[in-house]
Amino acid sequence: MKEKYTVVVVEDHTIVRDGLISLISSNEQLEVVGEAGDGLEASRVIDQLKPDLVLLDLSMPKMDGFDVITDVKKSSPRTKVLVLTVHSTEGYVRKCLRTGADGYILKKATRNELMSAVMHILAGESYIYPGIADSIIQGYLATPQEEQEISSFDSLTRREREILKLVAEGYKNREIADYLCISRGTVVQHRHHLMKKLKLHNTAALTNYAIEQGLVTK
């Protein structure tokens, strides 16, 4: 008997995560071997288990989904990543694919559509939700302004993105410093650099930008 494909489910809403685990476990070819409720935990679990597939939400606490994808592809290159999200804009899809995601599907998809996406990716194919596939094609005709917006975010270092996310989640400089094991002065310096890069001038503006980029939800 062929071994089952192993899956890790990453979703911060417990009731949604439980539903996904139940759905995936109903397929005799799949086995859920791990789960995580935030990005940092996800990175650790995936590094330890190295599953065949990660089903990943983008807007996660502590570490965003884009950084999780990066970590997965470094620690376990053979692991496939299927992004499951509410974000349907072309920018999010392009960013995920550039980061290394193998598939992208919306949370409004049906159970059958989700399972079809899972099996396509495990078979070595890519998958983009049909409802947004056309926008990816149009992405190659992106305007200079759209390209500038993508470049601004990509210009941030990983540490700056971490701090941006934590600021948007409401953490103070001291709390961020303690969490990241760095000095408060270093946090202030990173905040100054990312605000300069993004041309934003206060916490409210940083928070709105983080929401727009899918780092946090409203």
Shared domain for 132 and 157, answered yes or no, is no
- Residues 157, 124 share a domain: no
Q: Based on the domain organization, do 180 and 75 belong to the same domain? A: no
- Residue 217 located in a structural domain: no
pLDDT at 119: 95
What pTM does this model have?
0.71
List the chain residues with pLDDT less than 50: 140-141, 143-150
> Quick one: pLDDT at residue 203?
87
Token reading at 70:
């990066």
Name the strands in the sheet holding 53-56, side by side, starting at the edge strand that comes first in the sequence: 30-36, 5-10, 53-56, 80-85, 103-106, 127-128
Residue 2: its pLDDT value, please?
62
Residue 14: what pLDDT? 94
What are the helix (H) ranges across the chain?
14-25, 39-49, 65-75, 90-99, 111-122, 130-139, 144-154, 158-168, 173-180, 184-198, 203-212
Closest to 7 in 3D by CA, of 42, 35, 39: 35
Domain count across the chain: 2
Boundary of a domain, candidates 76, 105, 139: 139
- pLDDT reported for residue 218: 62
Q: What is the pLDDT of residue 142?
A: 53
Do 207 and 191 reside in the same domain of the chain?
yes
